[in-house]
């Protein structure tokens, strides 16, 4: 009997666990370790953040789903990995600490034959002074954060209804933050709600981003086919912001937040401030900061993880100039080069480099987005890792028939631009591949026929449909595996 241990129960980890169990059946164990008792459909946190959905509509309890499928669930935090076991124990294991009320503080060693690290990101609010829900800004990174953001946004709306002007600052809260898409979506939803309430003259909405040009979205921007024309995402994004009366600040790295004031540095080396009444700024991400030890208890963390805490996989981590970056640098099977039975999925894997061109201010501050790996790519990566592990367990072979390089994978992004039965809108963008491949597509960097952008009500209905479809899939209901990632 083989044991497959999955760390994390987000989109990537949850997908990997369900696929692995379905492939392996009762003969083998699948164990999930996650500090969260709930699964959350993160893309819909935006709607929680503007009061159009409740947290209950975007989450559900994991334990009943796993029990029904025969997956062992431990509500705990993984703290360290012993890939060679320890003295007197040859079996690889992960040390965990329980966080559930019944076992809080207890520790356990969980052995494994295969390990999937899908711990996702640590929301590194501390990297920017004053950033975060417990400080001076809001977040929509979790359903709890989004619920709190709505409570504060509602206060801003009430003030506008009394005739008080409010300034909204939405965007990235760290010079190297990612997830511009989520922040962009939130800005559009606030603008939509302001317009719906006819409060436009009292609202001053600003977008602040570390992107060199708008529409970079951490993937170096793109050219999209729109209405028969080829348009850079810079123009696509700027036109949407103008339509929603949102002004912008780009090339900005937020360095500190005080009550009602954001401090930021721009690439020109100058320092600025922006006052606000309500701010939602995405933090920087880091890995889960797990430790790794060899059999003699020596620290081997940096042999398995990159400096940011994300796990090294089958990528080319050679340091080279931007002009020499290639699509082939990116991983395809997400296997640790040091331990062949360890894999990393979703945000847990360390990318070989960014997708956006690295930029520094004249003061030497790095100001550019790190690569996005959320949503659809995370689900696909979790799936192929589980399929490859199941293949190896069932056949005894060590090959990987399933691959999912982000430089060969397409993705669709639906950015909600307002929620409503008749007036809801969304900006829809597809890119193929996610990582530009200038060798294969020398003119546009991507397959221009598969890289398109549009905005309209049909996109809203598609996003709403996907909300219910993917929650159905995540709950592992009848024929869930037929729904694509």
pLDDT in the model for residue 419: 81
Quote the pLDDT of residue 366: 98
Would you say 2 and 114 are in contact if contact means Cβ atoms under 8 Å apart?
A: yes
**Predicted TM-score of the model (pTM):** 0.96
Domains of the chain listed by start with CATH number? 3-123+286-395 (3.50.50.100)
Q: Is 275 helix (H, G, I), strand (E, B) or coil?
A: strand
Task: State pLDDT tens for residues 32-51.
Answer: 999 999 999 999 999 999 99
Ranges of residues in the chain whose predicted pLDDT is under 50: none
| The two three-digit tokens of residue 35, written as one number | 């500090």
Residue 131 DSSP label: -
Calpha distance 295→38 (Å, rounded): 34
In this predicted structure, what is the pLDDT of residue 180? 93
The closest of 401, 345, 352, 405 to 378, measured between CA atoms, is 345
462 class by beta-carbon count within 10 Å (0-12 exposed, 13-18 middle, 19+ buried):
middle
pLDDT for position 412? 83
Quote the pLDDT of residue 145: 98
Alpha helix positions (H), 245-355 = 301-304
CA distances (Å), 179 to each of 154, 217, 284, 415, in order?
24, 7, 9, 12
């Amino acid at each position: 009997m083989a044991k497959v241990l999955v760390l994390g129960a987000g989109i990537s980890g949850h997908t990997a666990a369900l696929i692995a169990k379905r492939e392996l059946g009762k003969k083998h164990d699948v164990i999930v370790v996650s500090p969260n008792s709930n699964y959350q459909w993160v893309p819909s946190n935006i709607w929680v953040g503007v009061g159009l959905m409740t947290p209950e509509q975007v989450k559900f309890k994991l334990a009943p789903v796993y029990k029904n499928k025969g997956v062992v669930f431990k509500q705990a935090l993984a703290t360290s990995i012993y890939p060679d076991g320890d003295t007197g124990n040859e079996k690889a294991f992960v040390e965990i600490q329980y966080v559930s009320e019944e076992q809080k503080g207890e520790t356990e060693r969980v052995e494994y034959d295969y390990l999937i690290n899908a711990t996702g990101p640590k929301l590194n609010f501390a990297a920017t002074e004053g950033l975060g829900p417990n400080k001076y800004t809001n977040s929509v990174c979790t359903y709890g954060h989004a619920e709190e953001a709505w409570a504060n946004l509602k206060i801003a709306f009430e003030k506008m209804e009394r005739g008080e002007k409010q300034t909204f600052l939405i965007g990235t809260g760290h010079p190297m933050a990612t997830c511009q898409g989520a922040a962009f979506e939130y800005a559009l939803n606030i603008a939509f709600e302001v317009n719906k309430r006819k409060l436009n003259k009292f609202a001053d909405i600003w977008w602040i981003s570390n992107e060199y040009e708008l529409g970079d979205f951490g993937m170096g921007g793109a050219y999209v086919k729109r209405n028969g024309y080829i348009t850079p995402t810079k123009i696509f994004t700027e036109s949407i912001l103008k339509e929603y009366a949102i002004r912008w600040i780009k090339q900005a790295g937020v360095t500190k937040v005080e009550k009602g004031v954001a401090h930021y540095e721009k690439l020109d080396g100058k320092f600025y401030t922006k006052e606000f009444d309500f701010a939602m700024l995405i933090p920087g991400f880091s890995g889960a900061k797990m430790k790794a030890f060899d059999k003699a208890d020596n620290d081997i963390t940096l042999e398995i993880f990159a400096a940011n805490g994300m796990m090294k996989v089958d990528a080319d981590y050679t340091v080279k100039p931007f002009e020499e970056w290639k699509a082939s640098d990116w991983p395809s099977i997400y296997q640790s080069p040091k331990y062949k039975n360890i894999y990393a999925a979703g945000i847990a894997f360390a990318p070989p480099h960014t997708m956006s061109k690295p930029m520094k201010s004249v003061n030497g501050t790095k100001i550019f987005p790190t690569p996005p790996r959320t949503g659809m790519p995370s689900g696909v990566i979790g799936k192929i890792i589980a399929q490859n592990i199941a293949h190896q367990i069932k056949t005894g072979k060590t090959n990987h028939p399933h691959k999912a390089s982000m430089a060969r994978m397409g993705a669709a992004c639906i950015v909600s631009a307002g929620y409503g039965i008749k007036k809801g809108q969304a900006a829809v963008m597809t890119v193929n591949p996610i990582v530009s491949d200038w060798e294969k597509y020398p003119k546009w960097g991507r397959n221009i026929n598969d890289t398109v952008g549009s905005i309209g009500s049909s996109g809203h209905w598609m996003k709403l449909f996907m909300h219910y479809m993917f929650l159905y899939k995540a709950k592992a209901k009848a024929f869930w595996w037929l729904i694509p990632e």
